[in-house]
Chain A
Amino acid sequence: MNLTLKIWRQKDSSSKGQMVDYKVTEISEHMSFLEMMDVLNEQLVNSGEEPVAFDHDCREGICGMCSMYINGEAHGPDRGVTTCQLHMRMFKDGDTITIEPFRAAAFPVIKDLVVDRMAFERIQQAGGYISVNTSGNTQDANSIPISKHAADEAMDAATCIGCGACVATCKNSSAMLFVGAKVSQYALLPQGQVEAADRVKNMVAQMDLEGFGNCTNTGACEVECPKGISLDNIARMNRELMKANI
C-alpha cells in the first residue's frame, strides 16, 4: 500500500517542532509499524536527509521503549499492543497517518518522536521497591504462602512496561495508572506490606512534583494501556494513600 505520513520533526528539546509530510510506497500489510518507519528512514538516509528519530528496542512489546502517538491514539488504533506490535494491516492503501511523540508536560521532547521519561524513573526511585538487601539468606521462598489470587493480581499489576501511554492518552496527563500499578503490586504481597504506607506517600508526592495531572476517572488510560492494566489499581492506590494518611 501507499501512504502519506505526517510526522512531528523537532531538532532538539530547545528547538521548535513542526509536522512534515512524507510518502512511502509498497508497504506490506505484514510489516510492523516500526518496519514501515524503517522503510521511510532507509529512504531518507539514501536521499541524504536525516532520518526520523524514534525510541524502540525489543520490538516485541515488552521493553516499553517505543512510544508513538498515531492518529490521535497512544500506540495507534489497535488494542493491547505497543507501537512495535502494531501491524500495517490496521491501515489501508491511500491512508494519511499522523505520527506524534507522547505529549505531556512531564515528558519533554528530546528529538522528533523521542521523549524524556525520566519523571517515571524518579517516581520509582521514590519508593518503587522493597527494602531488602541481597544476602542470599532471606527466608526460604516458600515460607510465606501467598494466595494464588493475590499473586495473580500482583502479577497483573506488575506487567506494566512503563511506556507512558497512560500519561500520553490522559487529558490531564495523569500518571496514576503507572503509579497505581507499582503501588498495587507491592500492596498485594506480604513482602511489600511492611513499608506500604511510606511507599505510597512518597511515590504519590513525587508524581505530583513531576507535574502529572490528577485522575478524573475517564478510563482512557486503561483502554490504551498495551498491557491491559486495570483502573482498579488507581482505586487501590487511593485507598492505600488514604490508609497511609490516617
Chain B
Amino acid sequence: MALDSKVPKGALKDKWTDYKNKINLVNPANKRHIDVIVVGTGLAGGSASATLAELGYNVKAFAYQDSPRRAHSIAAQGGINAAKNYQGDGDSTYRLFYDTVKGGDYRSREANVYRLAEVSTNIIDQCVAQGVPFARDYGGLLDNRSFGGVLVSRTFYAKGQTGQQLLLGAYSAMNRQIARGKIEMFNRHEMLDVVVVDGKARGIIARNLVTGEIERHSAHAVVIASGGYGNVYFLSTNAMGSNVTAAWKIHKKGAYFANPCYTQIHPTCIPRSGDYQSKLTLMSESLRNDGRIWVPKHLDDVKAIREGKKKPTDLSEDERDYYLERRYPAFGNLVPRDVASRAAKERCDAGFGVNATGEAVYLDFAAAIIRYGTEQAKIKNINNPSEAKIKELGKDIVKAKYGNLFQMYEKIVDENPYETPMMIYPAVHYTMGGVWVDYNLMTSIPGCYAIGEANFSDHGANRLGASALMQGLADGYFVLPYTIGDYLADDIRTGKIPTDTPEFDAAEKEVKERIEFLINNNGTHSVDYYHKKLGKIMWDKCGMSRNEKGLKEAMVEIKALREDFWKNVSVPGGLNEMNPELEKAGRVADFIELGELFAKDALTREESCGGHFREESAETDGPQKGEAKRNDKDFAFVSAWEYKGEPADAVLHKEELEFNDIELKQRSYK
C-alpha cells in the first residue's frame, strides 16, 4: 500500500480551514447510531471521548487504571504552549509552527504542525472555560513562562501540575458525558487486540482486569490514544503501567509504525540510585528557566565531591563549568532537550559526573534566589538588605514557582534543594515515534485512528517542552472530532456492528491462546527479569547515542531475549482473576517485539536528527564540531514500517517530507 498523507492542497495557513469547509458531516440524528471506541483516557483520549460524546456519538472509553483521571498525562508538570502572544513578545501561529518544526529537527509533517499551532489558542480558551486554574498575575490575567528551544514566553501553567489540571479538565468533561450515558466508561480494562472486518477497524477484544473476562466490543471506528512506549527501556519517567500494547496490536494487524527510534531523553530527571529502582522521576523543564546547570571544572573537585570531602557550595564560580552557557551562549540553559541531554552525557562520560554512579550534574538555583530576593527587596522598599534577608525573600519566590517540585525532590533524595544544588541526569521521557497517521489522524487501517503520543506526526525527531499537552488536547478536542466525521459519514446506514462474527471469534481465540500460554508456561524467570534485560540492551545500545555495531548487536540480543521469554517466563496466578503479573507479561512481550523494530529503525536511519544521534553522523570541524549532523538529502522522510511476521522482517515505506514554508537549516542554538 502506498503512503498517502492526504495533506490538503492550498496555502499552508488555509489548509485546515479549507479542509473543514469541505469534509463530510454527520447530522446529529445519525450520530446517535454511530459508536466509537477510544482506548486510553489521557489528554488525547479523554478530550476525544468527551468531545465525540458531546457531538452525539456513542463512545466506549477504555482505561487500564481505575479511573480516567489516573492516566499518565496527569504527571506532566511544566506547562502547555499556545501562540496567544499575551506577553507581546513577538509570538504568532507561524512562530510556534516554526519553533516546533525546527525543534523537531525538520522531521515532522509541516501541515500537521501548522494545524497544531493554529488550534493551540483554542485550547487555552476551552480549558479556562472548563475551570482549569491556570497561574495568573496580580492583574488577574494569565501568566506565562519560557521553555527550551524558543525565544518567547508562550507556556501556560498551573504550578508544577499543569498536566494534572488539564487532565482533570478533560476528565470533568468526560464525567458530564458519562452521567448522560453518552460515554460508557470501562475502567480496569485493557485492549488486547483490534478486530478488522472487511478491511475496517470495527472493534476490540479487551480483558476485564478485575474478573479476567475476555470481552468483545464493537464500534464503527476505533481510536488508539494509549500514549508512548518509553517503558521499552524499563526505567523511564512513564507510569509503571504505560505500555505499547494497543499500538503494537494494531501494528500487527496492518497499521504502519513510524519512526520508532525517535525517543526523547529528558535532561532533568532525578538520577538513578540503585538496581532496585522501578522508575525515574522527572524534574520539570521549567526549572531551567531559573536553574543553572554545571559540573566542576576540575576532576579533583569531582573526586572530592564524590568522596564527600567537598560540597558543591564550596566551589567558587571559577571552579564551575556552566557547560550549556559555555557551549550555547544564545539559548544557554534553555537549549532543547536532546541537546541538553547529550551535553550532560558528554560531561559525565568525560568523568565529571557528580554522584557515586558518575551519572549526575548540578541544577543550581542559588543565582535565581539572589536575583529574585534582590528584586523583592526593592519592591518591598527594604534598604541595604542583608544577604540572609535577600535569600529568604528569593526562596519565597522560588517556592511559589516550583514548590511542589522541590518538595518532590527532597522526599526522594533527602536533600534540600533550596540550600544545595539539585542533582539531575537524563532519562527516557517521551516517544516522538508512534503509529503512522495521515492528516486525518487515521492509521493505515481504515477506521482506526491514533492520537496524542501514540501517533508520530507532530514532533519530528525531538519534541519541545510543553508541546505534548498541546498536541494531546489539539488532537482530542479539535482535530479528531472533525476528521472522524468525514469517515463516519459513510456509516450512517451501517447499523450496529455485530460481535458474533468470524472476525471477532478469530481475534478472541488468538487473545485467549496467548494468555493461556503465558499462564501455563511454568518457566523459571519473572516478567521483570526480562523487562530489565530488555531495558539494559535498549539503554546501552539504543540510548542517547547509537552506532551501527551496537544497533546490530541489539537486534540480535533482543531477538534472543524474545525466544527466551516465550520459553522460560513464569506467570503466577490464574486467568479469571485480577492478575497484575499476567498484565505485565503481555505488555513486556510486546515491548520486546517493539524493541527489535526500534533498533532496526535506528540502524536504517544513518543520520543524526533530534533525539536520534548516530555517532557516525556528527560535525567533524568548524564551530559546530561534535554537534549532530542531519542528512536532508537522503533522510528527509518518515520511516513507516509494515509488519511482516517478525519485527526484523518489517518492510520500510517512506513518506517524503516536503518543506515549502520553512527553510531547512542546521539547527543551531549557539
Residues of A within 8 A of B (CB): 11-12, 28, 30-32, 34-35, 38-39, 42, 44-46, 48-51, 53, 55-65, 78, 80-81, 85, 87, 89, 110-111, 114, 116-118, 120-121, 124-126, 128-142, 145-148, 151-152, 154-155, 158-159, 161-162, 185-186, 189, 191-192
How many angstroms from the CA of A59 to the CA of B280 in the assembled complex? 9
Tell me the B136-161 residues at the A interface (CB within 8 Å). Answer: 136-142, 158-159, 161
Asked if B70 and A60 sit within 8 Å, CB to CB, the answer is no
Distance in Å: Cβ of B172 to nearest Cβ of chain A: 4
Distance in Å: Cβ of B632 to nearest Cβ of chain A: 35
Number of interface residues of B (CB under 8 A): 80
How many angstroms from the CA of A69 to the CA of B237 in the assembled complex? 26
CB contacts (< 8 Å) of B210 on chain A: these are 110
Residues of B within 8 A of A (CB): 47, 50-51, 54, 65-67, 69-72, 74-75, 84, 86, 119, 122, 124-131, 133-142, 158-159, 161, 164-165, 168, 171-173, 175-176, 178-179, 185, 187, 210, 237, 239-241, 273-274, 276-279, 281-282, 407-408, 411-412, 414, 477-478, 481, 526, 528, 570, 572-573, 577-578, 580-581
Interface of A is mostly: loop
Q: Of B75, B282, B572, B577, which is within 8 A of A49 by CB?
A: B572
Q: Of A32, A34, A120, which is within 8 A of B67 by CB?
A: A120
CB contacts (< 8 Å) of A57 on chain B: these are 65, 70, 72, 239-241
Asked if B69 and A64 sit within 8 Å, CB to CB, the answer is yes
CB contacts (< 8 Å) of B241 on chain A: these are 57
Asked if A151 and B135 sit within 8 Å, CB to CB, the answer is yes
Distance in Å: Cβ of A130 to nearest Cβ of chain B: 5
Asked if B159 and A81 sit within 8 Å, CB to CB, the answer is no
Q: Given contacts A85-B411, A159-B161, is CB(A142)–CB(B131) below 8 Å?
A: no
CB contacts (< 8 Å) of A81 on chain B: these are 411
A/B interface sample: 15 pairs, CB < 8 A: A12-B577, A28-B274, A58-B75, A59-B281, A63-B239, A80-B411, A87-B411, A125-B179, A130-B129, A134-B477, A136-B125, A137-B125, A141-B134, A151-B140, A161-B164
CB contacts (< 8 Å) of A161 on chain B: these are 74, 164
CB contacts (< 8 Å) of A147 on chain B: these are 136, 140
Q: Which 7 A-B pairs have the closest CB atoms?
A: A145-B140, A136-B122, A129-B172, A138-B129, A155-B133, A141-B128, A154-B133
Closest-by-CB residue of A relative to B279 is: A59
CB contacts (< 8 Å) of B69 on chain A: these are 63-64, 162
CB contacts (< 8 Å) of A65 on chain B: these are 65-66, 70
Asked if A158 and B129 sit within 8 Å, CB to CB, the answer is no
Distance in Å: Cβ of A135 to nearest Cβ of chain B: 8
Q: Of B70, B72, B414, B528, which is within 8 A of A42 by CB?
A: B528
Asked if B412 and A132 sit within 8 Å, CB to CB, the answer is no
Asked if B572 and A50 sit within 8 Å, CB to CB, the answer is yes
Q: Of A85, A135, A141, which is within 8 A of B408 by CB?
A: A85
Q: Given contacts A30-B274, A50-B572, A155-B133, is CB(A142)–CB(B161) below 8 Å?
A: no
Distance in Å: Cβ of A150 to nearest Cβ of chain B: 9
Asked if A131 and B168 sit within 8 Å, CB to CB, the answer is no
Asked if B577 and A148 sit within 8 Å, CB to CB, the answer is no
Asked if B67 and A121 sit within 8 Å, CB to CB, the answer is yes
Q: Given contacts A129-B173, A148-B137, is CB(A117)–CB(B131) below 8 Å?
A: no
Closest-by-CB residue of B relative to A13 is: B210
CB contacts (< 8 Å) of B128 on chain A: these are 138, 141, 191
Asked if B577 and A111 sit within 8 Å, CB to CB, the answer is yes
How many angstroms from the CA of A62 to the CA of B526 in the assembled complex? 28
How many angstroms from the CA of A133 to the CA of B86 in the assembled complex? 24
Indicate the member of B74, B131, B140 with the most A CB atoms within 10 Å. B131
Asked if A51 and B580 sit within 8 Å, CB to CB, the answer is yes
Asked if B131 and A155 sit within 8 Å, CB to CB, the answer is no
Distance in Å: Cβ of B47 to nearest Cβ of chain A: 7
How many angstroms from the CA of A30 to the CA of B134 in the assembled complex? 35
Distance in Å: Cβ of A207 to nearest Cβ of chain B: 15
CB contacts (< 8 Å) of B131 on chain A: these are 130, 154, 185-186, 189, 191-192
CB contacts (< 8 Å) of B74 on chain A: these are 58, 62-64, 161
Q: Given contacts A50-B573, A62-B75, A64-B70, is CB(A142)–CB(B187) below 8 Å?
A: no
Asked if B573 and A134 sit within 8 Å, CB to CB, the answer is no
Asked if B412 and A59 sit within 8 Å, CB to CB, the answer is no
Asked if B239 and A53 sit within 8 Å, CB to CB, the answer is no
CB contacts (< 8 Å) of A151 on chain B: these are 133-136, 140
How many angstroms from the CA of A139 to the CA of B326 in the assembled complex? 45
**Beyond A58-B72, A60-B279, A134-B173, 8 additional pairs, beta carbon < 8 A:** A35-B278, A45-B526, A50-B572, A78-B411, A124-B172, A130-B131, A134-B477, A158-B165
Distance in Å: Cβ of A226 to nearest Cβ of chain B: 10
Indicate the member of A63, A135, A136, A155 with the most B CB atoms within 10 Å. A63
Indicate the member of A35, A158, A161 with the most B CB atoms within 10 Å. A158
Closest-by-CB residue of A relative to B52 is: A134
Distance in Å: Cβ of A143 to nearest Cβ of chain B: 9
Closest-by-CB residue of A relative to B66 is: A117
How many angstroms from the CA of A56 to the CA of B239 in the assembled complex? 9
CB contacts (< 8 Å) of A142 on chain B: these are 86, 141-142
How many angstroms from the CA of A58 to the CA of B130 in the assembled complex? 25
Closest-by-CB residue of A relative to B135 is: A151
Asked if A89 and B54 sit within 8 Å, CB to CB, the answer is no
Distance in Å: Cβ of A5 to nearest Cβ of chain B: 16
CB contacts (< 8 Å) of A31 on chain B: these are 274, 276
Asked if B240 and A191 sit within 8 Å, CB to CB, the answer is no
Asked if A48 and B572 sit within 8 Å, CB to CB, the answer is yes
